[in-house]
Amino acid sequence: MNSTTHFPINGSLLEKNVSWTEDLEGEVLRFTLGGLELEKLLLRAVTLATPFIKLTTDIESNLPPWEFLPKEIDAAVVPAQPVATDPPYLTFLSDAIRYVPGCSNRYFIDLQGSFAGYLQKFSGKSRKNLTRSVRKFAEFSGGQIQWRELRSPAEISDFCRLAIEISPKTWQERVGGPGFPRTEGFKNAMMDLAVEGLARGYVLYHDGRPISYILCRAHDDCLFYARPAYDQDYADWSPGRVLLYLVLESLFAEAKYRYLDFGDGTLSYKQFFSTGYIRCARVIYFRRDCYNLLVAMSHYSLSSISRGSGRLLKVMGLKERVKKLMKGELHGAGL
């Protein structure tokens, strides 16, 4: 399956105060071994749109409403299910296979209060280093930082163009990653969200050249932080950190959203900027059939082998060396 097909969802799909929506890009299940991607499978999926911060730790409360879903949908995904304890990797339900690829801490920022108050969460040294990064970039920019917030459908279309311009110069693409989506379908979907006021993009410039971007989607009083990236030629000037600082300053002043959700991953900058975290599982519900069972079992088996390889490297004292090599290659993966 090498292209994304979108399917209309019948009915409101409101179940127990949670909402399921069509996945804008489909769910990509990556088969990796020791960090090397061997294969990837694009699933036609729906995603639980309700922010994780509003969910309970009862995993059984968010079962997908299969009766409302088109038969073409392969899977239903809960991106972040809060858990009290890590659930089993595989669970067989009456009408589905529940697969949990992994669990991790999900970081967020509580946007209540003032930006000045938020900055007090940092140690004096960290706060000084953070403001120094912003000041340094301002000096690099001739005394004034140029950046934009884009909200309207036309602005979001422009944002996608700018992000696509920056994307080939980011570490994500330089190491063979997906980069920013280039399809008309993705752009149109984001423009549709912008019509409802649910999408916004942020772009940082230097000397008129776009060098960093952040894309956000809103749901209720939560803003989902996604796809941060920057031109690696400017890595020494911390453009990702500077843009996030400016965005947070703006969000605190706007006082519209309660939370900023940092999404998947535990990169160090998320821990640094966050005000809290919740242990969450990524959950994929497959329709119960032989093919989906094979997919889930294959992914689980390969992941188990990969985790075992990582433990072996650690025992042999090689894991940290590998990490250092990767950090050298992936400089700037965080902020």
Q: Which residue would you say has higher pLDDT here, 327 or 225?
A: 225
pLDDT at 172: 85
Provide the pLDDT confidence category of residue 23 given band limits of 50, 70 and 90. Answer: low
Mean pLDDT of 76-94: 94
Mean pLDDT of 251-265: 95
Give the percent of the chain with pLDDT over 70.
Answer: 84
pLDDT at 209: 97
Measure CA 264 to chain center: 5
Provide the pLDDT confidence category of residue 49 given band limits of 50, 70 and 90. Answer: confident
Give me the count of residues in the chain.
Answer: 335
Domain 112-257 bears CATH identifier 3.30.1330.100: no
With beta carbons less than 8 A apart as the criterion, state whether 68 and 39 touch: no
With beta carbons less than 8 A apart as the criterion, state whether 137 and 271 touch: no
Tokens at residue 1, please? 């399956």
User: Within the chain, which residue ranges are assigned CATH 3.40.630.30?
Assistant: 112-257
In angstroms, what CA-CA distances link 90 with 53, 94, 249, 286?
A: 24, 13, 42, 11
Mean pLDDT of 29-51: 84
pLDDT at 329: 42
With beta carbons less than 8 A apart as the criterion, state whether 52 and 278 touch: yes
Q: pLDDT tens, 129-182?
A: 999 999 999 999 999 999 999 999 999 999 999 999 999 999 888 877 778 999
In the DSSP assignment, the letter for residue 52 is G
